[in-house]
Amino acid sequence: MDLKIVHWSIIGVGLGLVGCVLLILAANLALQAADEVSRVTEMFQGFQDGKCKSCHPAIWREWADSMHAKAWLDEVYQAAAKQITDRETKCDQCHAPQPILITGVGNMPKLRDEQREAGVSCLVCHLDAHGAMNGPAASAETYFHANLTNPIYTQPTTLCGTCHGQQSVPEHDQVSSFLNSKFADGDTSCATCHMPVVKRLQSTTSHESIKGRKHTWRGSRSVAQLRRAATVQLEYTDGKAVAKLRSKTGHILPGGTLRTIVLEVTLLASDGTELQKQQISISAEKENRLLPDENRTYTFDIVSATTGDTIKARLIYQLTPDTPEPKRILMVEKTHVVR
């Protein structure tokens, strides 16, 4: 045989082999990609069909009662978003987002096409592009989804900051004021106050109870949370009432831009008759919100006070400008009897 032909045929076979390998690799990658897409789709389907609910009933119940579950259906949100002409690019992307591990933690979230009514769902915080559930270290495995340990769940603000700390959306930023406070150096995280620690079986198929966190995210609609938000000290001397406020909140207070806290100081006669009332509003609109740990003193002239009268200082929380008086929440009350 001609040596040259042998040579060429060896090269031919070689090239063919390389081609085959490349083809197989490409096909594999395509299959893998298709598999990953279908795993992501499967998780969305599973969420819809109640699979997450059936294996994680406790976490589901907590989430379902939280504002994250209502982030899209929330009437206050829908009323505000209706006023915005390009709401699909300016508002909706955080109130019904795609999974943030897919669009990029820290990046501006993107609007989801399906399941918008589920708002900030389980998948938004946990599902990655491979169809795996990311979280803190798990104690068990499941056939339904892969578990992946990811440090962002135990970092102070990384996850939350994706929606609560976008620089371009200062109205919804609780993270900047947190990071500019004493909380920046400690062990405190957003979860410390909004996801209390609980030890339990994290799913119906887990074998042991492990430390996790409640998915409740109690905020401004929780009376208990509001009563922890600030303290007031009241003093009275020579016709002046002095109210000293101290914020105990992890961020700017009130945290949302729709909210108002009213400091109300009243003078009451010994029979309870109201003699005088003065109010100061604290809100984003007034540009006088309290920073974490801030002490602030307000002085009120109460020249007409006589022995036996009572001075009362109250902090009252108003969710929106239209919240009627009976629905406003009393955060703190202090009284002083004039001697």
Stretch that binds ligand HEC, among 31-39, 41-49, 276-284, 301-309 (CB under 6 A): 41-49
Among 226, 241, 243, 315, binds ligand HEC (CB under 6 A): 226
* Beta-carbon contacts of residue 14 (< 8 Å; ≥ 6 apart): none
Is there binding between residue 40 and ligand HEC (CB under 6 A)? Answer: no
Nearest CA-CA partner of 112 in 132, 84, 129, 92: 92
Is there binding between residue 263 and ligand HEC (CB under 6 A)? Answer: no
Q: Please say whether the beta carbons of 63 and 70 come within 8 A.
A: no
Is there binding between residue 169 and ligand HEC (CB under 6 A)? Answer: yes
Residues 90-129 that bind ligand HEC (CB under 6 A): 90-91, 93-95, 97, 100, 109, 120, 122-126
Binding residue count for ligand HEC, defined by CB under 6 A = 92
Please state the closest distance from residue 66 (CB atom) to ligand HEC, in A: 7
Residues 188-217 that bind ligand HEC (CB under 6 A): 188, 190-195, 202-203, 205-206, 210, 212-213, 215, 217
Q: Please say whether the beta carbons of 178 and 251 come within 8 A.
A: yes
DSSP string for 282-328: EETTTT-PBPTT-EEEEEEE-TT--TT-EEEEEEEEESSTT--GGG-
Is there binding between residue 251 and ligand HEC (CB under 6 A)? Answer: yes
The region that residue 144 occupies, defined by phi over 0 for left and psi between -120 and 50 for alpha, beta otherwise, is alpha
Among 225, 266, 283, 318, binds ligand HEC (CB under 6 A): 225
Please state the closest distance from residue 204 (CB atom) to ligand HEC, in A: 7
Question: Residue for token digits 């929380």?
Answer: 317
Question: Residue for token digits 């620690």?
Answer: 197
Name the residue nearer to ligand HEC (CB basis): 236 or 255: 255
Is there binding between residue 289 and ligand HEC (CB under 6 A)? Answer: no
Q: Please say whether the beta carbons of 335 and 234 come within 8 A.
A: yes
Each residue 132-151 as x (binds ligand HEC by CB under 6 A) or -, in order, gives -x-xx-xxx-x-xx-xxx--
